[in-house]
Amino acid sequence: MEIRDTTAIVTGAASGLGAATAAALVEAGAHVVGIDLPGQVDDAPARAGVTYVAADITDPDQVAAAVERAASFPEPLRTVVSCAGIGPSMRILGKKGPHDLAFYAKVVQVNLLGTFNVMTLAAERIAATDPLEDGARGVVINTASVAAFDGQVGQAAYASSKGGVVGLTLPAARDLAQHGIRVNTICPGIVETPMLATVSDEFRAGLAAGVPFPARLGRPDEYAELALDLIRHDYMNGETIRMDGALRMAPR
């Protein structure tokens, strides 16, 4: 699918994977509607070609308004890349007692329900666009994690939420096939994002050393490059792709 002269939605667009993807889409000729929380949008660097919209991805009304904003541009809405998510940890049985159910529900609500909410509401608008060759109308790229397969100690909530995104991929692709909308999922390994900004250089080096090859952390621009490859490749559909340097996470 051609990216130039189209509109794309990117969630989590103010930083990390989302910011890199938004920048790559703009460079490829798309107009991007970047969705993020109000505080994140306020601090996001101004970028030509990106229109930031403050919205909570778990709120259907806020997401619907953001999608309508994206659909209002002259360029047709063709792409959704969901990068928004949270990654806190808690053991099922820890020193302070059993896993807090509200904590678990919050992680699932943001990472899984939020992803589903954005995909569903955006797909409705993409389905209303004029079809391209082979009846294609657009593509959704969701973000899971290697934790969906290799969840570590303390990642019960996070791994559950990301495993849900992986499990969503194929049925979503099948549901949306009749509308010409493809669905793929990227599972990043350890990527240099703001989530790692608070750890020491020594700890970061230890994480990088555990990656078979290349023995370094992934970069947000590498995620963005893969996302654009999936957008352009019309026969990639219903796929979950690990981007992790052959990393398989240890229990802790």
How many CA within 13 A on the CB side of residue 57?
Answer: 31
For residue 76, cis peptide bond before it (omega within 30 degrees of 0): no
pTM: 0.95
pLDDT at 198: 62
pLDDT at 73: 96
Cα dist from 124 to 42, 128, 203, 204, 235, whole Å: 28, 7, 44, 41, 21
Find where tokens 């794309």 sit.
8
Sheet holding 7-11, edge to edge: 50-54, 31-36, 7-11, 77-82, 138-143, 181-188, 240-243
Domain 7-243 annotated CATH 3.30.565.10: no
pLDDT at 199: 63
**pLDDT per position as a tens digit, 79-93:** 999 999 999 999 999
Q: Give phi and psi for 208, each to the nearest 5.
A: -65, -35
pLDDT at 79: 98
Catalytic residues: 158
Q: Two tokens at 89?
A: 């940890």
Q: Give phi and psi for 144, each to the nearest 5.
A: -105, -130
What parts of the chain have a pLDDT lower than 50? none
**pLDDT per position as a tens digit, 118-167:** 999 999 999 999 999 899 999 999 999 999 999 999 999 999 999 999 99
Alpha-carbon distance 103 to 153, whole Å?
16
161 closest CA partner among 105, 118, 241, 119: 105
Total residues found in the chain within this entry: 252
